[in-house]
Chain A
Amino acid sequence: PLSKGKQEVSLSAFAFLFSELVQYNQTQVDNIAELERRLEDAGYAVGARVLELLCHRDKGNRRETRLLGILSFVHSTVWKVLFGKVADSLEKGTEHEDEYMISEKELLVNRFISIPKDMGTFNCGAFVAGIVRGVLDSAGFPAVVTAHFVPVEGQQRPRTTILIKFAEEQKYP
């Protein structure tokens, strides 16, 4: 059944579930890269469905066909539905024409999580990167999407940046 989007659950319910998802996937892999890839896969499945859902519900069955259109759709509409707020920023990469970044000071999936030292660069944001890739790919904009921690001066916790690198054919929109 297609919900009207009114049903809500507590944020803890999501936090508990997400933590189990991460822990389960940890039992299935033997390195960090593989773990991130699996979380990204799970996210991709969410992204593909979010696009479908929002196009039906909010956009009168239309979807974006322009690169900037779809990016701002991700940054505002998708973010709002999933995380309850618009993403902190959407920027274009300065060094490469085909790169864009969505940054979030405290990404929901990283909020309850501290990475143990022995897990190095592991970032639960991989799940969100997967969501973004799922949305973009399903809308016809294939991209490589990765999540990174970026230290912020004067802040204890780093912000999370989702780096979007579009595939060759989208290079110059």
Chain B
Amino acid sequence: MAPVGPRSGDAIFANVERNAELFTLTYGATVRQLLTDLEEVEEVNKQLDQMGYNIGIRLIDEFLAKSNVTRCVDFRETAEVIAKVGFKMFLGVTATVSNWDADGTCCSIILEDNPLVDFVELPDTCQGLYYCNILSGVIRGALEMVSMKTEVTWIRDVLRGDDAYELQVKLLKQVPEEYPYKDDE
């Protein structure tokens, strides 16, 4: 049988169960709860990133299972897959990749649409908040599960007055896989 190629993000998204506002509003409620509990905006950013990371390390399994994506040859391909397949499959939006550095280890993922921020306006008291910080955690966590240590930072944020959402993803190192796998540890 011929190997099955990777599926497009659109095809996967067309086949999964979907949901609109519940997600957005639940995310808003989560952020609000964190702001009440932790008081410091900086702490909220950290907690959102941690939650994203937890999601990322689980989400990668579903992603690989549904997308038929095989090992990416380089970081460039990885970034394209995240933007075209990953974002589409889970959030229903497509992102673009740009601003590569010379050695291909750092790029920007740019989102025009962002379902997390419908109905959201940042009040003056939350100016330091990265409202969508959960996304950077998700990317970091998911990539860590495929042996890539990355650093993800926000460059632009519409809620802060920019014209798009821009996440900078920087490859720190490829963690060599250890053989043999020890399943029972």
A residues near B (Cβ < 8 Å) are: 1-3, 5-14, 16-18, 20-21, 23-25, 28, 38, 41-43, 45-46, 49-50, 53, 81-84, 108
- Range class of the B interface residue count: 35 or more
What's the least CB distance linking B61 to chain A, in Å? Answer: 11
Chain A neighbourhood of B22, CB < 8 A:
14, 46, 81-83, 108
Report yes or no: A50 in contact with B26, Cβ–Cβ below 8 A.
no
Q: Which parts of B93-151 form the interface with A (CB within 8 Å)?
A: 93, 113, 115, 117-119, 134
Label chain A's interface by main secondary structure. Answer: helix
Q: Identify the 7 closest CB pairs spanning chains A and B, nearest first.
A: A11-B17, A8-B18, A45-B29, A42-B29, A3-B118, A20-B51, A46-B25
Let me know if B91 is at the binding interface, CB within 8 A: yes
Selected interface stretch from B52-60, B74-82, B160-168, B170-178: B52-60
Q: Is the CB of A10 within 8 A of B17?
A: yes
A45 proximity list for chain B (CB < 8 A)? 25, 28-29, 32-33
B119→A46 contact, CB < 8 A: no
Alpha-carbon distance between A25 and B51 when the two chains are bound, in angstroms: 12
13 A-B residue pairs with Cβ-Cβ distance under 8 Å, sorted by A, are A7-B93, A8-B92, A10-B90, A10-B92, A12-B62, A12-B90, A14-B22, A17-B55, A18-B26, A43-B29, A45-B32, A46-B29, A81-B21
Q: What is the minimal beta-carbon distance from A20 to any residue of chain B, in angstroms?
A: 4
Q: Are B19 and A8 in contact (CB-based, < 8 A)?
A: yes
Contact across chains for B115 and A7 when beta carbons are under 8 A apart: yes
On whether the beta carbons of A53 and B33 are closer than 8 Å, the reply is no
A6 proximity list for chain B (CB < 8 A): 20
Q: Which of B33, B47, B51, B90 contacts A9 (CB 8 A)?
A: B90
A1 to B118, CA, bound (A): 6
Find chain B residues with CB under 8 A from A53 CB.
21, 119
In the assembled complex, the CB of B21 is this many whole angstroms from the nearest CB of chain A, namely: 6
Q: Which residues of A contact B18 (CB under 8 A)?
A: 8-11, 84
Q: Let me know if B16 is at the binding interface, CB within 8 A.
A: yes
State the CA gap A101–B107 with chains docked (Å).
52
On chain A, the residues within 8 Å of B32 by CB distance are 42, 45
